[in-house]
Amino acid sequence: MTQLWGGRFTGPAAELLRQLNDSIGFDIRLYNEDIDGSIAWANGLVGAGVLTAEEAKQINEGLEKVREEIRLEKFVFAAGDEDIHTAVERRLTEIVGPVGGKLHTGRSRNDQAVTDFRLWVKRATKDMAAEIVALGTAMIDHAEQHIETPMPGYTHLQHAQPVTWGHWLLGHFWPLVRDLERFHAVLHQADEMALGSAAFAGTAFPIDRDALAKELGFKRITRNSLDGVSSRDYVADFLYASTMLGLHLSRLAEQLILFSSTEFSFVVIADAYSTGSSIMPQKKNPDTLELTRGKSGRLLGDLTGFLATIKGLPSTYDKDLQEDKEPVFDAYDNLRLLVPVMRGVIETITVNADKMAAQLEPGLLATDLADYLVKKNLPFRQAHHVVGQIVQLGEKRDIPITDLTLDDLQEISDLFEEDVIEAFSVEGALAARSVPGGTAPKAVRVQIEQARDALK
Ligand code: ARG
């Protein structure tokens, strides 16, 4: 019998059971956390009078050997190594002899699994935060160069009002700041130690859980052993933060795909982040951005699949909970590619200011024309109507509203005077929007400072 739990069984496990039950194929990634947890546990057992200091030293040296074997890919797996906890303990006992069998005193794989994974998620969360900061920095640096590059702004994907490219890009930056805040919240949720819960009722040995938590770098300990082994909301939090980040990247990707199309040509994605077509020699495709958009779907799947898994689970540990790891690994692995890829795209993107300027047709200034009338004391509702008639007249004559004469305008409203020409300026329209958060270059300069502060 190779399983650690084989005592009460008379026959071997079916091969199919192993295939279904074993998690070693993916939880091997937790080996560092598992060994850190075991070393701390051995020290805790000394405090509890279960191990002598000498025994703990033997165990801990053995655990470091196991760590080295796995790290150097020299670790030989055995048939009963169903998960990382089993594999490490089995190999430890081979190395140090029967004393290795004392390590599992007063603990369970249930509290081990959750402790390992909380440690892993904490580290992964810090990695994600660092990647987001790097991307955000690249976006700010790029935006800073385009504080005064005008482009048409859109609502409903229709021409609306002029904005600047810098302001537009920063519109995709602030969601990342909120993602960062979400990952900080994940860190807080994950930062709780369940070790000492044992299988679910609490360990029967006098373990100093607070000292153990401190040794493992946890801020606090779980207050209920049943909840300790079975709560996975920190996992859902990680997946939600990941999904939201993925969706933000997807929306940015979608717009860059659109803006890099021949019809827009506002931007050119660098060759380094584009691919070719196997049949059409002229083509340059934004595959990196399309995959960014596409993968947001699977991130969403990772989240919803996991939520479905935990819904309705009875307390405490159920094997369903083993399904917590793969969606997290999937989300993490994909984002660890997608975030730096987006950074690369932004760092190498070329902006065609001329193409953007060429699309700045006078219709974009219709709101400013209405604002001009408001300044002459016409209520905005009426001003809106007047400008609507002007737009209609332009359309009827098939000319831009800027080509209408002052006489034409005055026929619609006698409030128009010579100075109306000032309302027809893109620079004026941009400068007017100097409210905090507005597109005026002056306001965007302040925004850039705020953006840098937000990443600190
Ligand atoms: N491989 C398991 C997991 O990832 C470890 C816990 C197993 N516990 C048990 N009672 N079978 O959740």
- Ligand 1 atom with least separation from CA of 5: 11
> Which residues are known catalytic residues?
156, 277
Question: 146 near 166, Cβ under 8 Å?
Answer: yes
Ligand 1 center to 47 CA (angstroms):
26
Q: Is 322 in the pocket of ligand 1 (CB under 6 A)?
A: yes
Mark whether 374 and 349 lie in a shared domain: no
> Would 162 be classed as within a structural domain?
yes
The predicted model scores a pTM of 0.95
Closest CA to 171 of 142, 204, 198, 210: 142
State the CATH number of the domain containing residue 421: 1.10.40.30
pLDDT of residue 2: 61
Please report which residue ranges of 154-222 form alpha helices under DSSP H: 165-170, 174-190, 209-216
Mark whether 211 and 273 lie in a shared domain: yes
Domain holding 438, by residue range, is 362-442
Mutate to test the pocket of ligand 1, among 322, 325, 328 (most ligand atoms within 8 A of CB): 322
Mark whether 292 and 398 lie in a shared domain: no
Residue nearest to atom 12 of ligand 1 (CA): 322
Report DSSP letters for 111-165, one per residue. HHHHHHHHHHHHHHHHHHHHHHHHHHHHHHHHHHTTTT-EEEEEETTEEEEEEEH
Mutate to test the pocket of ligand 1, among 18, 29, 83 (most ligand atoms within 8 A of CB): 83
Q: What tokens were used for 31? A: 């080996």
Q: Is 87 in the pocket of ligand 1 (CB under 6 A)?
A: no
> Would 1 be classed as within a structural domain?
no
> Would 456 be classed as within a structural domain?
no
Ligand 1 center to 83 CA (angstroms):
8
Mark whether 350 and 378 lie in a shared domain: no
Question: Alpha-carbon distance 168 to 266, whole Å?
Answer: 12
Mark whether 350 and 373 lie in a shared domain: no
> Would 5 be classed as within a structural domain?
no
DSSP structural state of residue 402: G
Q: Is 109 in the pocket of ligand 1 (CB under 6 A)?
A: yes
Ligand 1 center to 241 CA (angstroms):
25
Per DSSP, what are the bridge partners of residue 158? 155
pLDDT in tens, the chain (456 residues): 467 777 888 888 889 999 999 999 999 999 999 999 999 999 999 999 999 999 999 999 999 999 999 999 999 999 899 999 999 999 999 999 999 999 999 999 999 999 999 999 999 999 999 999 999 999 999 999 999 999 999 999 999 999 999 999 999 999 999 999 999 999 999 999 999 999 999 999 999 999 999 999 999 999 999 999 999 999 999 999 999 999 999 999 999 999 999 999 999 999 999 988 888 888 889 999 999 999 999 999 999 999 999 999 999 999 999 999 999 999 999 999 999 999 999 999 999 999 999 999 999 999 999 999 999 999 999 999 999 999 999 999 999 999 999 999 999 999 999 999 888 899 999 999 999 999 999 999 999 999 999 999
- Ligand 1 atom with least separation from CA of 27: 4
Backbone angles phi, psi at 416, to 5 degrees: -70, 135
The CA angle 112-114-14, to the nearest 5 degrees, is: 70
Closest CA to 86 of 1, 177, 168: 1
Question: 58 near 99, Cβ under 8 Å?
Answer: yes
Question: 254 near 325, Cβ under 8 Å?
Answer: no
DSSP structural state of residue 421: G
Question: 335 near 144, Cβ under 8 Å?
Answer: no
Question: Alpha-carbon distance 350 to 345, whole Å?
Answer: 10
- Ligand 1 atom with least separation from CA of 117: 4
Mutate to test the pocket of ligand 1, among 23, 26, 107, 109 (most ligand atoms within 8 A of CB): 109
Judge if the upstream peptide bond of residue 316 is cis by omega within 30 degrees of 0.
yes
pLDDT of residue 1: 45
Closest CA to 58 of 71, 68, 43, 47: 43
Q: Is 83 in the pocket of ligand 1 (CB under 6 A)?
A: yes
Ligand 1 center to 124 CA (angstroms):
21
> Would 183 be classed as within a structural domain?
yes
Ligand 1 center to 265 CA (angstroms):
54
Last residue of a domain, one of 74, 105, 136: 105
Question: Alpha-carbon distance 164 to 319, whole Å?
Answer: 54
Rounded CA Rg of the chain:
31
State the CATH number of the domain containing residue 45: 1.10.275.10
Report DSSP letters for 350-381, one per residue. EE-HHHHHHT--GGGGHHHHHHHHHHTT--HH
Mutate to test the pocket of ligand 1, among 3, 4, 21, 110 (most ligand atoms within 8 A of CB): 110
Residue nearest to atom 11 of ligand 1 (CA): 319
Give the 3-state secondary structure of residue 52.
Answer: coil
Q: Is 110 in the pocket of ligand 1 (CB under 6 A)?
A: yes
Q: Is 27 in the pocket of ligand 1 (CB under 6 A)?
A: yes
Ligand 1 center to 317 CA (angstroms):
8
State the CATH number of the domain containing residue 289: 1.20.200.10
Count up the domains in the chain and report the number: 3
> How many C-beta neighbours within 10 Å does residue 282 have?
6
User: Where does residue 281 rank: exposed (0-12), middle (13-18), buried (19+ CB within 10 A)?
Assistant: exposed
pLDDT of residue 10: 82
Mark whether 204 and 86 lie in a shared domain: no
Ligand 1 center to 109 CA (angstroms):
6
> Would 142 be classed as within a structural domain?
yes
Per DSSP, what are the bridge partners of residue 150? 164
Question: Alpha-carbon distance 286 to 131, whole Å?
Answer: 22
Question: Alpha-carbon distance 5 to 384, whole Å?
Answer: 78
Mark whether 49 and 167 lie in a shared domain: no
pLDDT of residue 3: 72
Ligand 1 center to 320 CA (angstroms):
9
Question: 127 near 336, Cβ under 8 Å?
Answer: yes
Mark whether 140 and 263 lie in a shared domain: yes
Q: Is 84 in the pocket of ligand 1 (CB under 6 A)?
A: no
